């Protein structure tokens, strides 16, 4: 049996202020394009089973644009595949916190061949597909966060697939939902996991496929990892990683700003800005060890010119503060963005607030405020 595994598509994800001719956020359009490209590539290989391991949508209530386009894409995909099984497990991003809200993923249950695991009732975790001699167990985010489960096959089917959404302890100990031993991976034909945005394997038949685009609050921590979906043939028992199509993100080599004036920092940043303008990439340029007086001298009008050449240009200046006996103590290399992320990660948020979303909104507001201040001073 052949399996295509994708995850964390985060359809409806929005970032930055730029829109297309129709007024839609460009990053939201990007994410939809990445999703469609994955479906096209999967359909070309024509697997027996497709699994999506959660965070299909980026939020509980995505935009009409994303709902309509996602439904049409899946319906067309299933028609092309002659309605072969497609499994979708609900992730934390699309799962409402109140029981009476319903789950947007249930909409896809009307598409022939699509099976959605979005309920919190444990008796709906298992699915039998006789035509593939297959048992599927799907564990949504809401279940794995609440229950201590022993995830073992219960049938004598030849093929057994586990699909779950949650954070395994090895990849993110501070936010762990389960330990990899809980999955009993050696008893399954394949274990498809979602929630972690970079590909990470546990043996030959168990992995996070990662997200299909850069949709986390800190994409720069993912930039070194290729975005993929996973092809798995149970007869071969080996994963094939298929690259995803997405907008280019460029993390430029950091600039050592310790001995540079603001004018020199500006000149070096402009010289480092080498990319094809037509690609409109997402770009970050870090400048380390900047003195406060040098930061004040940066020519932000030239930086604004760089921003016009890409979807987003982020100039991250890591400032060196003098060592003084202040209440802050000795602070070296601290940015407002760093302080905001640390603050939100440690904060006791209301249950209905998504921590990653709060961080992302704050980062965007800080970037806007810094841009306005710098341009006003220039």
Domain ranges of the chain: 2-243, 249-377
From residue 263, give the alpha-carbon distance in Å to each of 175, 266, 272, 301, 317. 43, 5, 14, 12, 14
* Kind and range of the H or E run holding 56: none
- For 77, other C-beta atoms within 10 Å of its C-beta total 21
Q: How would you label 41-59 residue by residue, b for 16+ Cβ within 10 Å and e otherwise?
A: bbbeeebbbbbbbbbbbbb
Q: CA–CA separation, 141 vs 152, rounded Å?
A: 18
Q: Are the C-beta atoms of 65 and 140 separated by less than 8 Å?
A: no
With contact defined as beta carbons under 8 Å apart, do 252 and 281 qualify? no
Ordered alpha helix ranges (H), the chain: 26-45, 64-80, 141-146, 262-272, 292-297, 300-307, 336-346, 355-377
User: Which pLDDT score, from 0 to 100, does residue 146 have?
Assistant: 64
The three-class DSSP label of residue 368 is helix
Q: In what order do the strands lie in the sheet with 114-117?
A: 114-117, 86-89, 49-52, 2-6, 228-233, 238-243
Q: How far apart are CA 238 and CA 300, in angstroms?
A: 51
Give me the CATH topology for the region 2-243: Purple Acid Phosphatase; chain A, domain 2 (3.60.21)
Place of tokens 């998504």: 354
Separation of alpha carbons 367 and 362, rounded Å? 9
SS3 call for 325: coil
pLDDT of residue 152: 80
- CA-CA distance, 81 to 302, in Å (whole number)? 51
Query: What tens-digit pLDDT sequence spans the chain (378 residues)?
Result: 999 999 999 999 999 988 998 899 999 999 999 999 999 999 999 999 999 999 999 999 999 999 999 999 999 999 999 999 999 999 999 988 766 667 899 999 999 999 999 865 544 588 999 999 999 999 998 787 666 666 888 888 999 999 999 999 999 888 888 899 989 999 999 999 999 999 999 999 999 999 999 998 788 888 888 999 999 999 999 999 999 999 999 999 999 999 999 999 999 999 999 998 888 999 999 999 999 899 999 999 999 999 999 999 999 998 876 544 444 444 445 566 667 777 777 677 766 666 777 777 777 676 655 554 554 544
Residue 205: the pLDDT is 97
Q: What is the pLDDT of residue 328?
A: 46
Question: Distance (Å, rounded) from C-alpha 157 to C-alpha 146?
Answer: 28
Report the pLDDT value the prediction gives residue 323, as an integer from 0 to 100. Answer: 45
pLDDT at site 36:
98
- pTM score: 0.82
């Amino acid at each position: 049996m052949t399996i295509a595994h994708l995850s964390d598509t985060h359809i409806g994800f929005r970032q930055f202020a730029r829109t297309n001719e129709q007024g839609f956020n460009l990053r939201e359009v990007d994410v939809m394009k990445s999703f469609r490209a994955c479906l096209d590539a999967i359909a070309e290989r024509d697997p027996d089973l497709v699994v999506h391991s959660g965070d299909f949508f980026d939020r509980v209530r995505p935009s009409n644009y994303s709902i309509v386009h996602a439904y049409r894409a899946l319906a067309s995909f299933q028609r092309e595949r002659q309605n072969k099984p497609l499994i979708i497990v609900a992730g934390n991003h699309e799962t409402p916190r109140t029981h009476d809200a319903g789950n947007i993923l249930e909409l896809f249950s009307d598409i022939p061949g699509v099976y959605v695991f979005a309920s919190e009732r444990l008796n709906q975790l298992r699915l039998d597909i006789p035509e593939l001699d297959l048992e599927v167990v799907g564990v949504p985010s809401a279940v794995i966060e609440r229950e201590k489960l022993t995830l073992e096959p219960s049938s004598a089917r030849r093929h057994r697939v586990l699909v779950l959404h949650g954070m395994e302890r090895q990849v993110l100990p501070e936010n762990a939902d389960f330990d990899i031993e809980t999955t009993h991976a050696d008893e399954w034909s394949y274990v498809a996991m979602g929630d972690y945005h970079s590909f990470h394997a546990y043996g030959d038949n168990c992995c996070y496929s990662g997200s299909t685009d850069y949709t986390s609050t800190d994409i720069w921590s993912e930039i070194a990892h290729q975005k993929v979906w996973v092809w798995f043939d149970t007869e071969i028992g080996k994963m094939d990683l298929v690259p995803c199509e997405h907008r280019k993100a460029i993390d430029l080599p950091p600039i050592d700003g310790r001995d540079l004036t603001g004018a020199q920092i500006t000149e070096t940043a402009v010289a480092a800005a080498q990319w094809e303008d037509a690609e409109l990439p997402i770009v970050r340029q870090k400048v380390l060890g900047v003195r406060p007086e040098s930061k004040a001298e940066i020519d932000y009008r030239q930086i604004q010119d760089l921003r016009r050449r890409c979807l987003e240009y982020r100039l991250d200046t890591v400032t060196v503060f003098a060592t003084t006996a202040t209440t802050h103590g000795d602070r070296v290399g601290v940015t407002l963005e760093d302080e905001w992320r640390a603050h939100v990660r440690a904060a006791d948020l209301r249950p209905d607030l998504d921590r990653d979303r709060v961080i992302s909104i704050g980062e965007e507001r800080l970037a806007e405020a810094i841009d306005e201040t710098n341009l006003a001073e220039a």
